[in-house]
Structure formats: structure tokens, C-alpha cells
Amino acid sequence: MRRISTLIVAILWSAIAAAAGGHGQALEKANVDLANKTSLQRGAKLFVNYCVSCHSASFMRYNRIGKDLELSDEAVQTNLMFTTNKIGDLMTVAMSTTDAETWFGVAPPDLSVIARSRGPDWLYNFLLNFYIDEGKPTGVNNLIFKDTAMPHVLWELQGLQRIVHGTEETVEGGHATPDHLEIAVPGKLDESEYKQAVRDLVGFLVYVGEPAKLVRYRIGFWVIVFLLILLVPAYLMKREYWKDVH
């Protein structure tokens, strides 16, 4: 029975790893902080500048972003709205599905819940691991999602990376090392700055996947404060009721 249970667990973990799209590569933690409104604001700006031309977030409205991220309607209209002129509109794209399939081979997915589907760590590492591959129509490939149809839209920020293949293990005792990437063409940002930009973008996608999480965080703080205050009279009442019990 124990062997069967172990086998079932192993199969489940294999399925989860396959679904995550990783190729056995350890994922670097995204360390998303939803309490950091400034980071989420930067992520929103990156999303509308680099993503929303192809990817929609059709469950999210611009005015909801402004409310949750503490931005005025004027700030949202000036900095985040390039595909519509109505503050209450959804974050949709003008590109048709037919055109998308013609240009990319597959229509870019809606990103409303991509962070809940893939996970923030996967998205973070995906955006870090594009590399030059001249055999692909987009000119790039990805270590995390092999043969991706998505171009490296953030290349001007990160630059272009080339893959450095690791050595193979040999019978003479050579050591196998994993493939890794190195910068071939520098971008506008250095490594730490680019990682922070990607963290901001992923944080915004995590927020879009569940905007109510910010509300829960805010309500949760006051609930804890209320319970701590209530603890005092509850303790005093308990002591009063039990003072004559021996």
C-alpha cells in the first residue's frame, strides 16, 4: 500500500512539473510583494507599454486599476490608456484573432489569470530566459518554455542573450553543467534593474489575477486589530466568570 501511495505521489509531481512548462530547471523566486503599490504601478505601466498590444486582460477595467493602485483617473488616462478613451473599459486589444494567428501562428492568450495558471515564479523566469535562436520565426527561444511563439518583447530593456551549452558527462569523469545564458547585446537596464522590472510586471499580473486579494489584505489588518482589542474584555469576562470556580 505504501509503494502504491509513493507511486501516485510521484506521478502527480511529474504531472505538475510538466504542466508548469519547466524543463527540470530550478525556478528563481519572483518574491512578488502585493503590498508595494509603487511596484504594482510600475508593473501596470510595463504591461500597457509592452504587453497589451497583443495580450488582453479582459476581466480588468482601467478604473478598477486606478482605484486599487491609488491612481487618479487622470493618471490612468495619461499613463495607462492607449487602446481606448473610456476609463471604465476593459483591457482588450484591437488585434483580431485571425491576424494574431497569421503573424504568430497562435493567438496570444488573455493574461487575466495567467499568474494563477502558471504561477508568479514561472512567469518571472520565463521573462528572464529568452535567448537568440535564428532558426525561429521570432529570432528567439526560451529556456523555460521551449519553442515559444512569443517574441522577446522586453529585449530593449534586457538586451539579447545567447545560450551557452553545458558540458556533457563522459565516461572519463567529466562533469555535466546546465545550459546558461549570457548577454550578447546589452539592453537599457543592467541585470538587477531588469529583474526588478520583471518582478514589477509579474506582480501586476498577480494582482490582475485576483484583485480582491488587495481588499482582503486591507480588511484582514483591521480584523486582526479588532480581535486583539476584543481579547482584552473577553479575558476579563472569562476571569470574572471563573473566579469562584475552584
H or E element that contains 57: strand 57-61
DSSP codes joined into one string, 79-102? HT-SS-S-TT-EE--SS-HHHHHH
Rounded Cα distance between 150 and 145, Å, is 10
The pLDDT of residue 23 is 46
Rounded Cα distance between 173 and 151, Å, is 39
User: Taking 90 as the threshold, does the pLDDT of residue 167 lie above it?
Assistant: no
Of the two residues 68 and 166, the one the predictor is more confident about is 68
Of the two residues 48 and 8, the one the predictor is more confident about is 48
The pLDDT of residue 213 is 83
DSSP codes joined into one string, 116-177? HHH-HHHHHHHHH-EEE-TTSTTSEEESSSTT-----TTHHHHEEEEEEPPPPP-TT-PPP-
Rounded Cα distance between 55 and 45, Å, is 14
| pTM for the whole structure | 0.77
Residue 25 burial (CB count, 10 A): 13
Q: How confident is the model at residue 99 (pLDDT cuts 50, 70, 90)?
A: confident
pLDDT digits (tens, 9 = 90+) for 62-82: 999 999 999 999 999 999 998
User: Taking 50 as the threshold, does the pLDDT of residue 150 lie above it?
Assistant: yes
- C-alpha grid cell for residue 94? 484591437
34 within 8 A of 120, measured Cβ to Cβ: no
**For 21-210, CATH number?**
1.10.760.10
Instruction: Please report, for the chain, the start and end positions of each structural domain, with discontinuous segments joined by +.
Output: 21-210, 213-246
